[in-house]
Amino acid sequence: METRNLIGYNYQPEQGNKFKAVDPALGIDLPGEFYAANIAEADAAMKLADKAFAVFRSIGNTKKAAFLRSIADEVIAIGAPLIERAMAESGLPEARLQGERGRTTNQLKMFADLLEEGSWVEAIIDTAIPDRQPLPRIDIRKMMVPLGPCVVFGASNFPMAFSVAGGDTAAALAAGCPVVVKAHPAHPGTSALVGEAIKKAAEKTGMPEGVFSILYDDGYAIGEALVKHPKTKIVTFTGSFKGGMALVKMARERDEPIPVFAEMGSTNPIILLPKALENRAEELAKLSASITGNAGQFCTQPGLLLAVKSDSLEKFKKALGIAIADVNSATMLTPGICANFNKLSGGMLADKAVSVIAKSDKVNTAQINQGVAVVTEITAAAFLADEKFKEEVFGPYSMLVVADDIAQLEQVIASLHGQLTVTVMAENEELPNYTSITDKLANLAGRVILNGPPTGVEVGNAIHHGGPFPSTSDSRFTSVGTSSIKRFVRPVCWQNWSDDLLPDELKTDNPLKIWRLFNNEWTK
């Protein structure tokens, strides 16, 4: 099997350098060869996307919704081969990937529903008031419009839900933005299967050529070319801080700077308040599942636990240690991710300020690239003295920071960088005593959780999956849920235009029957 880059419907890619996918558990090459894209192909993909934008931006919500639902149907139609290939390329278990496929297709359907409901365009109408004093009011009408061609970088830890047909692609297409995907080199076979599904859906529903393309590359050249291409208007990325900031820098240095929405990592601290520890230390130790699930390779994995020293904390540590020691090792996504995990966690363990609470003794020696669970401990004073302890260790690792008192715990919290999530484990009756902590949490993270693990991100209307820098490059936007469509649009107002020349959403007699703010009142 040879897989070439998918550029529109009719473009014939060249035969360039080839690479293969690798099974991270066994270290062997997987079947199939993938042609790395070249600069000419990246240029062709972006030019086709720009050409498609002229049509796709105004193709109509009903047709776009049909396209998204067709993508979901085609992804499901792939069947078992999609799950099997994703398992082989990622090391993730079957049940996890079946759930991820469901999330992927449900996201597409969710955005289709959003399109048909219509209010996401945020139509606002202020009609003219000719006799207003001291000056007349002119007719002004505003709504959101798509930005243009989007480049989506596939994520390593979600080979479906944050990759080719994932949330970024679904939201961009819903907004009216053609998409060019830079497939992640760790799962090109999975990407190829989903890419073909999107192509089939586009052809079946009559979408313009160039509305979707996918390019393969096992290096960085094509990603850089896509970000720097003059037709690119927006970029999305989920990955490391280093990778995200490299893209942000490229985009800012263009002749026309463009937005890069990068999710770049988070330690997702969990604050264990005293009464909660006193009442349910053993129950809280079940956080071990959130720390180690899928080898700790979730962006919301809790990498920090924060508490004040007490007898109850000692009880928690004992229970957590027993749970961690009993966790089986798990295959990490790529050899590079495993090597980086071992380097960073090893560096923590080598520091004299750090002690080990527990390390798993259940290591699968029959497979390679194994993430071995470990939880460490450090005093708040030592934590505050060295910035390296705030760095994300991507994998099954967490650090317990022990403060002498509440005042020192507050110092630790105040020292933290921006996060995707922050969690408080507390009893309701003790929360009023800690408002000096809880009142500040919304400044620290995009999602503030009470008495629940941060892993497991609900895909819906109210979710915000984003946070202050450096967790993301722009804390105002989410990469999950219906609000993620806002990354791909901008507001435009029409002044003094007659009804027949306005977009349907802004006509006085609204043919789409969407909710609009009409002269300061919501109306259909």
Residue 179: pLDDT band with limits 50, 70, 90: very high
pLDDT (tens digit per residue) in 30-65? 999 999 999 999 999 999 999 999 999 999 999 999
- The letter for the amino acid at 230 is P
Q: Which residues contact 20 (CB under 8 A, 6 or more apart)?
A: 29, 30, 32, 33, 34
For 70, the token pair is 């067709």
Closest CA to 108 of 72, 75, 138, 144: 72
Rounded to whole angstroms, what are the CA distances from 225 to 34, 50, 87, 236?
Answer: 19, 15, 30, 15
* DSSP class of 16: -
Residue 233 and residue 355 in one domain: no
Note whether 15 and 31 are same-domain residues.
Answer: yes
pLDDT band, very low/low/confident/very high, at 7 (cuts 50, 70, 90): confident
Same domain for 288 and 169:
no
Three-point CA angle 349, 351, 355, nearest 5°: 55
Q: What is the pLDDT of residue 8?
A: 78
DSSP 291-311: HHGGGG-STT---EEEEE--H
Positions marked active-site: 263, 299
Same domain, 284 and 259: no
Nearest to 170 by CA among 241, 74, 69: 69
Domain annotation covers residue 494: no
Bridge partners for 491 per DSSP: 144
Bridge partner residues of 151 (DSSP)? 180, 235
* Residue 516 within any structural domain of the chain: no
Same domain, 126 and 209: yes
**pLDDT by residue (tens digit) across 478-501?**
999 999 999 999 999 999 999 999
Same domain? 176 vs 300: no
> Last residue of some domain: 432, 450, 468?
450
Query: Does residue 278 share a domain with residue 211?
Result: no
> Bridge-partner residues for 124, per DSSP?
142, 517
Same domain assignment for residues 336 and 382: yes
Q: Which two tokens stand for residue 362?
A: 């259940």
Q: Is 464 within a domain?
A: no
Asked if 426 and 481 sit in the same domain, the reply is no
pLDDT tens digits for range 360-418: 999 999 999 999 999 999 999 999 999 999 999 999 999 999 999 999 999 999 999 99
Average pLDDT on 210-215 reads 97
348 shares its domain with 205? no
Q: Which three-class secondary structure state does DSSP give residue 219?
A: coil
Cα 296 to the center of its chain, rounded Å? 16
Over residues 462-471, the mean pLDDT reads: 98
d(CA 333, CA 371): 10
Q: What is the DSSP code (8-state) at residue 138?
A: P
The structure tokens 């990490």 sit at 332
Residue 309 has pLDDT above 90, yes or no: yes
- Domain-terminating residue out of 450, 467, 499: 450
- Our count of domains for the chain comes to 2
In the chain, the amino acid numbered 174 is A
For the chain, what's the residue count?
524
289: in domain: yes
One domain for residues 260 and 298? no
Q: Extract the tokens encoding 49.
A: 């996307």
Query: Are 68 and 91 contained in the same domain?
Result: yes
Does residue 219 lie within any of the structural domains?
Answer: yes
Average pLDDT over residues 131-150: 97
**Structural domain contains residue 469:** no
Q: What is the CATH number of the domain that holds 393?
A: 3.40.309.10
Determine, yes or no, domain membership for 507. Answer: no
Which residues form the domain of 249?
2-264+476-488
Single-letter residue type at 104: T
What DSSP character marks residue 137?
B
Q: Could you count the other beta carbons within 10 Å of the beta carbon of residue 518?
A: 18
Q: Do the domain assignments include residue 146?
A: yes
pLDDT at site 2: 65
Mean pLDDT of all residues in 243-270? 98
* Direct distance between the N- and C-terminal alpha carbons of the chain, in angstroms, rounded to an integer: 53
Section 500-510 average pLDDT: 96
Confidence band of 16 (pLDDT split at 50, 70, 90): confident
C-alpha 482/C-alpha 484 separation (Å) is 5
CB 299 within 8 A of CB 262: no
Q: CATH number, domain at 45?
A: 3.40.605.10
